[in-house]
A = this chain, B = another copy of it.
Amino acid sequence: MKDLICIDEWKIIQKNFDKENNRIYESLMSTGNGYMGMRGNFEESYSGDSLRGSYVAGIYYPDKTRVGWWKNGYPDYFAKVLNSTYLIGIKIFLNDFELDLNTCTIKDFYRELNMKEGYIKRSFIISKDNNEVKCDVIRFVSMDIKDMICIKYDITPLSDDLKVSFIPYLDGDVRNEDSNYDEIFWNEIARGFNDSGSAYLTVQTKKLDFFVTSTMDIKLFLDGHQREFNSDDSSDYMHVSKKVDVNLNKDHTASLEKYVSLVSNRYTSKEDLITKGNEILISSMETGFDSLFLNHKNKWDEIWEDSDIIVEGDLKAQQGIRYNIFQLNCTYTGEDERLNIGPKGFSGEKYGGATYWDTEAYCINFYLSTAPEKVARQLLIYRYRHLNYAKENAKKLGLKGALYPMVTMNGEECHNEWEITFEEIHRNGAIAYAIFNYIRYTGDKNYLIEYGAEVLIEISRFWASRVSFSKRKNKYVILGVTGPNEYENNVNNNWYTNKLAAWCLKYTMEVIDLVKEMDENAYNILKERLSFDDEELKVWSDIALHMHFPWIDDLGIFEQQDGFMDKEIVPASSLPKEDLPINQHWSWDRILRSPFIKQADVLQGMYFFGDEYSICEKKKHFDFYEPLTVHESSLSPCVHCILAAELGYEEKAYDLYLRTSRLDLDDYNNDTSDGLHITSMAGTWMSFVHGFGGLRVKNDLLNLSPMIPSNWIGYSFRIMFRNNLVKISVTKESIEIELLNGKGLKIVIFQSEYILTNNGNTKLRIKN
């Protein structure tokens, strides 16, 4: 845990320039708009340690993985998130000396990520030969015009007159840090200058034929007044630039506005890219920086209107939750059903791929509650579109039905560790659970007829072919799996996996009945198309009924997997600090034979199927498993926080909440330099709303059981539920519910029902 930033309710502020932690700040200051994004790199050259990263959603590289040991069935490639054309670069020369914060003497350094309005602001004074120069920079990735990035770079000499040269450029000669042999993944296709004067660069991925055109142009201002200028245009392989020289008098300010548009053949035919990119650029420049900025800010206002969470009395907690909400909105906006939520968003390259089970188990909850129904639906349809790949994937493993990939970009599996790729099959259950969760939350049962039932049936077929029957146990067993706790590999009967599998089969049968009931015709078509029959359903029912669930008799709790209790059970608190995190210090076998749990496993199931277990049962499981958990997955603290809140473990809940909400801000896991933990940010949101707010949906009704950490004065959050926008405000004294928008709804608070309507009854307040 590090102390990196100033505490502020809306801002992430860095007040001291810190070369050593520069990569961490670059990660923290990442911005995006769901279509593209970038790390918080500097515009000017920087010779210190840095990971320059710009990323475009959905553009990836199928990198070779056939290196080293190989197992039959492994995928041919690993989809790497592709570092693409560096868009923000502006070289700055001050009296012919190049500005580089790594070598200059700096004072009054200030950098801010403004979450409310979605921009980065930076200012500093550099001194060189007793000459001081002030620089102010603002940058935003437009939330309004998704293809646009705007930068304003101000330079003011404080001591003497100054010759300033701005060299804004586009640089396509980038490479991924995680490429195996320093390979370059891009070819140049075209570069040059449009008639309008803008510079463009079109690059193409060496595989898969993604084309990306970036176009840039500039405006120059002196003390706020736009000026004509001569630009010295030049271009070289993978590089286009302009150069503007300005002679500045002391205390006068030169401002360069750099406008960049980015278009790709994901949305525009490749022949039209240059024209299209320039059109967007020209029209944006006509609008101008200030208006573009205002429109951008207004979009962020709308986002916060639907999703803000306010904490009173705890700025750290406040900053944490807003940071998570901010980054989630930078990463995914739900407009394109081919996109998903990458684990690092636009903040880094690590892990590759875009889609993990994180989306279904965690992220979808955030989007269900803070965005229109359509957004969560897009996430489900994304998987529906990949069903054929999932069926191929199951076939490769000699199984029936569909097995969704562990990591994917386009539906194909692209991960190759056998214990994960082949064995971490609980992911398939999460995809079914997300359908259940979506229906439960939205009531959109038509989704099942259109898409959901088919996915569920194929998933159930997978489970039915994946179980085997143990004569000795006289039960169905699932051998050789890795559960959510990846610190156990190739185990038999991971309770969570078995539970999910049995539940999937039951739920699918319910859904089949429901479809039949709702639309007999649709049911018949489905039945014929997927050719299922009573015989098949009978088998499913038998499996669901006779699944083996490992059980620790003397403790009266489920056993994480067969044989878990043969381990020496010692709490994680007994681990020496220097061994933490164990995944950075211990060899894999040592981790595997230890009792330590990477992330919620049995408890994940207790959370998913909370209604099936009493508080007393949950407590017993929590008390046994939580002390063994090292939370070395960013997805772990949130689930524990939610359960702790439910069980009345207030302190534990609060600690875990802080850990999840400030995971990156305080670099808890010592890995923020690689990028942010985007998907776990949805977990943070869940900790808050499902944990402290106690939000559940039961029988089509919103249920709340709020609690409040003792050091807080109050908090409020907003959620969308079935077209109602509701604000929930909690203090130690009261719980207030306000209908901000919508026709009204019935709501359950601590088991009592209340009604909100849009005429008169928009607000209710009960004692806490």
Q: Which of B473, B490, B585, B592 contacts A592 (CB 8 A)?
A: B490
CB of A65 within 8 Å of the partner chain: yes
Would you list which residues of chain A between 432 and 480 have a CB under 8 Å from chain B? 468-473, 477, 479-480
User: Which chain B residues border A562 with CB–CB below 8 Å?
Assistant: 562-563, 566
Give, as a whole number of angstroms, the nearest-CB distance from A553 to chain B.
10
Copies in the complex: 2
Q: Which one of A69, A418, A568, A589 has the greatest number of beta carbons of chain B within 10 Å?
A: A589
Give, as a whole number of angstroms, the nearest-CB distance from A647 to chain B.
27
CB of A72 within 8 Å of the partner chain: yes
Q: Which one of A67, A68, A470, A489 has the greatest number of beta carbons of chain B within 10 Å?
A: A68
Cross-chain contact A67 with B180 (CB below 8 angstroms): yes
Q: Given A397-B589, A588-B422, A592-B480, check contact A473 B566 (CB 8 Å).
A: yes
A566's nearest neighbour on chain B, judged by CB, is: B470
Q: Which one of A418, A562, A584 has the greatest number of beta carbons of chain B within 10 Å?
A: A418
In the bound complex, how far is the Cα of B563 from the Cα of A477, in angstroms? Answer: 11
In the bound complex, how far is the Cα of B85 from the Cα of A9, in angstroms? Answer: 68
Interface size band for A:
35 or more
In the bound complex, how far is the Cα of B473 from the Cα of A565, in angstroms? Answer: 9
CB of A60 within 8 Å of the partner chain: no
In the bound complex, how far is the Cα of B563 from the Cα of A479, in angstroms? Answer: 9
Give, as a whole number of angstroms, the nearest-CB distance from A288 to chain B.
48
Q: Which one of A71, A562, A587, A590 has the greatest number of beta carbons of chain B within 10 Å?
A: A587
User: Which chain B residues border A470 with CB–CB below 8 Å?
Assistant: 565-568
In the bound complex, how far is the Cα of B471 from the Cα of A562, in angstroms? Answer: 15
Cross-chain contact A73 with B593 (CB below 8 angstroms): no
Q: Given A67-B67, A479-B567, A584-B72, check contact A589 B422 (CB 8 Å).
A: yes
CB of A54 within 8 Å of the partner chain: no
A475's nearest neighbour on chain B, judged by CB, is: B566
User: Which chain B residues border A585 with CB–CB below 8 Å?
Assistant: 72
Name A's interface SS.
Answer: loop
A181's nearest neighbour on chain B, judged by CB, is: B181
User: Which chain B residues border A753 with CB–CB below 8 Å?
Assistant: none
CB of A649 within 8 Å of the partner chain: no
User: Which chain B residues border A589 with CB–CB below 8 Å?
Assistant: 73, 397, 418, 422-423, 480
Cross-chain contact A587 with B72 (CB below 8 angstroms): yes
User: Which chain B residues border A370 with CB–CB below 8 Å?
Assistant: none
User: Which chain B residues border A72 with CB–CB below 8 Å?
Assistant: 583-588
In the bound complex, how far is the Cα of B71 from the Cα of A583, in angstroms? Answer: 8
Q: Given A180-B181, A468-B593, A563-B563, check contact A397 B587 (CB 8 Å).
A: yes
In the bound complex, how far is the Cα of B69 from the Cα of A491, in angstroms? Answer: 21
In the bound complex, how far is the Cα of B587 from the Cα of A540, in angstroms? Answer: 24
Would you list which residues of chain A between 150 and 195 have a CB under 8 Å from chain B? 180-181
A554's nearest neighbour on chain B, judged by CB, is: B472
Give, as a whole number of angstroms, the nearest-CB distance from A402 to chain B.
15
User: Which chain B residues border A743 with CB–CB below 8 Å?
Assistant: none
29 contacts between A and B (CB under 8 A): A65-B67, A67-B67, A67-B180, A68-B68, A68-B416, A72-B583, A72-B586, A72-B587, A180-B180, A396-B587, A397-B587, A397-B590, A398-B586, A419-B419, A419-B490, A422-B587, A422-B589, A468-B568, A470-B565, A470-B567, A471-B565, A479-B563, A489-B489, A489-B490, A490-B491, A562-B562, A562-B563, A562-B566, A563-B563
